[in-house]
């Protein structure tokens, strides 16, 4: 197959969405398919075209980003050229430009499959409301014309405003979670008595201020030598000022905070093996699953996560952790302390986790959908 992937951001941008797309693209190349990724050139230094692990990446001129959204004036021309060489089109949503890709694809008689990662935020503010309404309309057009829509879980699908409109088109396939070989990862933070980890971007929907608010309670119950270790982008996150987001917590608790920044997948594997518990305190529907939960479990690390549609699935399927109500700091602190204190009770065999979230089974399902749609 000749597959065209349309996505707002791709490597080297780091998010669950981009990691998903990168794993899918590279696995399809490994299976002898041809893959081109059409994405934003969100940094001037990024090459307009390059090949990484067999995947052709075409980056479109992006003079500015409005919030998290890239503005790509030449997108219609670029996508038309790419479509002429492709058989299957796979757009990753949310993406404002998806309707352009899908309309042109249908005019050229190409099959279209959408991968729907999450709903829009619903955040307040006039600019946000306008951008979300515009994106909603364009994605509705894309959904109406698409041949199939991939979602991670039925749990999220039942609660999604978008997916509920296209129930007959939705195919549920768990996201691709890959077991990586750990690499060396050093730092003084590893000497802390209690190591509580967070993996992901520093962004509003992650609920990090709720995690930071647990520190007084955790220091009382677990001892003063508690470290919150953040693995993932924070200064580099597009459309987010991490300092204003976390406010005075950074200065107040600086002796208990460690920011590792972006890590490779191999370094992330080492991170999971080092920490006592992984916490995912997400608060909004922008979080639809949290692949980092499964990655941590595969490396023997239990998880505390919020009881949100989709997000609760890894713990619900494995029992390897505890779920708490979103935005409930007391419940979050209590669950973290319980998991750390009774850690062995929450550990499950690695093979058991891998069986439930089998990487090759996911890729087989995605490949089969591409071939048969």
Q: What is the pLDDT of residue 238?
A: 65
φ/ψ region of 240 (left if φ > 0, alpha if ψ in -120 to 50, else beta) reads: beta
The ranges assigned to domains in the chain are 2-177+358-372, 188-355
Which residue pairs from 108-112 have beta carbons closer than 8 angstroms and sit at least 24 positions apart in sequence?
Answer: 108/83, 108/84, 110/83, 110/86, 111/87, 111/147, 111/373, 112/142, 112/145, 112/146, 112/147
The pLDDT > 70 percentage for the chain reads: 96
- The whole-number average pLDDT for the span 294-306 is 97
The pLDDT > 90 percentage for the chain reads: 80
Residue with the larger pLDDT of the pair 203 and 18: 18
Q: What is the pLDDT of residue 328?
A: 96
pLDDT confidence of 373, banded at 50, 70, 90? confident
pLDDT tens for residues 127-176?
A: 677 888 888 999 999 999 999 999 999 999 999 999 999 999 999 999 99
Homologous superfamily in CATH for domain 2-177+358-372: Glycogen Phosphorylase B; (3.40.50.2000)
Q: What is the pLDDT of residue 273?
A: 95
pLDDT tens for residues 109-128?
A: 999 999 999 998 766 677 67
pLDDT tens for residues 195-252?
A: 999 999 888 789 898 999 999 999 999 988 999 999 998 876 666 666 666 777 788 8
pLDDT tens for residues 269-289?
A: 999 999 999 999 999 888 999
Asked whether the domain spanning 188-355 has the same topology as the one spanning 2-177+358-372, the reply is: yes
pLDDT tens for residues 67-89?
A: 778 999 999 999 999 999 999 99
Multiple choice CATH, 188-355, 3.40.50.2000, 3.40.30.10, 3.50.50.60, 3.40.50.720 = 3.40.50.2000
pLDDT tens for residues 41-53?
A: 999 999 999 999 9
Mean pLDDT in the chain? 93
Q: What does pTM read for this prediction?
A: 0.93
């Amino acid at each position: 197959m000749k597959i065209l992937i349309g996505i707002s951001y791709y490597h080297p941008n780091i998010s669950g969405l981009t990691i998903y797309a990168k794993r899918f693209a590279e696995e399809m190349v490994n299976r002898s398919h041809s893959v081109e990724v059409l994405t934003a050139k969100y940094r001037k230094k990024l090459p307009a075209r390059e090949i990484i692990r067999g995947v052709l990446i075409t980056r479109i001129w992006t003079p500015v980003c409005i919030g998290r959204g890239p503005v790509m004036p030449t997108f219609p021309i670029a996508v038309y050229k790419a479509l002429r060489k492709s058989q299957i089109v796979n757009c990753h949503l949310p993406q404002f430009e998806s309707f352009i890709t899908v309309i042109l694809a249908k005019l050229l008689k190409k099959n279209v499959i959408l991968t729907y990662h999450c709903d829009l935020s619903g955040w307040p503010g006039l600019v946000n409301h306008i951008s979300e309404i515009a994106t909603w309309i364009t994605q509705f057009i894309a959904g109406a014309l698409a041949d199939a829509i991939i979602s991670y879980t039925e749990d999220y699908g039942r609660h999604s405003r978008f997916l509920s409109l296209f129930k007959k088109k939705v195919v549920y396939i768990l996201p691709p979670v890959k077991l990586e070989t750990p690499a060396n990862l050093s730092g003084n933070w590893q000497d802390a008595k209690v190591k509580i980890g967070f993996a992901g971007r520093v962004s509003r929907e992650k609920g990090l201020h709720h995690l930071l608010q647990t520190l007084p309670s955790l220091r009382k119950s677990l001892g003063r030598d508690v470290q919150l270790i953040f693995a993932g982008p924070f200064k580099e996150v597009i459309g987010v000022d991490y300092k204003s987001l976390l406010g005075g917590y950074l200065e107040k608790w600086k002796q208990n905070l460690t920011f590792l920044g972006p890590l490779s997948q191999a370094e992330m594997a080492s991170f999971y093996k080092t920490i006592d518990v992984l916490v995912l305190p997400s608060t909004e529907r922008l979080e639809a699953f949290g692949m980092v939960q499964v990655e941590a479990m595969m490396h023997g690390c239990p998880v505390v996560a919020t009881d949100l549609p989709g997000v609760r699935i890894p713990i619900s399927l494995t029992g390897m952790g505890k779920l708490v109500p979103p935005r409930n700091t007391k419940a979050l602190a209590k669950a973290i302390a319980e998991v750390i204190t009774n850690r062995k009770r929450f550990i499950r065999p690695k093979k058991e986790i891998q069986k439930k979230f089998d990487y090759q089974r996911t890729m087989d399902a995605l490949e089969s959908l591409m071939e048969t749609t």
